[in-house]
A and B are shown apart, each in its own frame.
Chain A
Amino acid sequence: KQEVTQIPAALSVPEGENLVLNCSFTDSAIYNLQWFRQDPGKGLTSLLLIQSSQREQTSGRLNASLDKSSGRSTLYIAASQPGDSATYLCAVSSGGGADGLTFGKGTHLIIQP
């Protein structure tokens, strides 16, 4: 059964720093990997989607990489801002979108002004 682990569980950094969030998964036979952001008490907002054939995706200050063979993904946030404070969730799809995502437990990120 697929398992997804996110490290660190929590991170607090000063504004302006570049940072990396890590995600690992046990079964490399994934369909795609998605990074989400969740603000307290809210739903999930999709940040980046990487298909299994891709190595990375970029959106603004965010860059996500995927190394399927080693079961790892990273989310890089450049020039962090207080508005980036949230919980970041990594999720993998192993069944072509038909049977749900397997989630990590998230990294709780605080950007200090």
Chain B
Amino acid sequence: DVKVTQSSRYLVKRTGEKVFLECVQDMDHENMFWYRQDPGLGLRLIYFSYDVKMKEKGDIPEGYSVSREKKERFSLILESASTNQTSMYLCASSTTGGLNGYTFGSGTRLTVV
């Protein structure tokens, strides 16, 4: 069964900490994405990557960075976590052209205290 796996379901971090959210896909997809989901705001795209070592800003990249050193892995980094980054984070992947749609992980609920 093809999968997008997010390493943590729940995380609690302190303000100012550096936080890493990891995502791994086993489908050999070229494209990978990070979204955050907030009540009333829906899903918003943070960053995406269409190839190893490539990254593009989404709609809300401020306060985040990403890393893609291997095709199967895409990491989201919160350089200095803040309380307004408390959210559900969702990773997704797709093939080039998106003919098979997008596959999402099970999400990471991050709480910054």
Contacts and interface: CB of A to CB of B under 8 A. Distances in A.
Contact of A43 (B40, B48, B105): B105
Interface residues of A, number: 25
Contact of A51 (B92, B99, B105): B99
Contacts of A76: none
- Looking at A41, A45, A89, the one whose CB has the most chain B CB atoms below 10 A away is A41
B44 to A, nearest CB: 8
A91 B97 CA distance: 15
A10 to B, nearest CB: 13
A32 B101 CA distance: 8
Interface residues of B, number: 31
Nearest to B29: A97
Contacts of A42: 106-107
Nearest to B48: A100
Contacts of B40: 105
A100 B33 contact: yes
Contacts of B43: 89, 91, 101, 103
Interface of A: 31-32, 34, 36, 41-46, 49, 51, 89, 91, 93, 96-101, 103-106
11 contacts: A41-B109, A45-B104, A46-B103, A49-B101, A91-B43, A93-B98, A99-B56, A100-B33, A101-B33, A103-B42, A104-B42
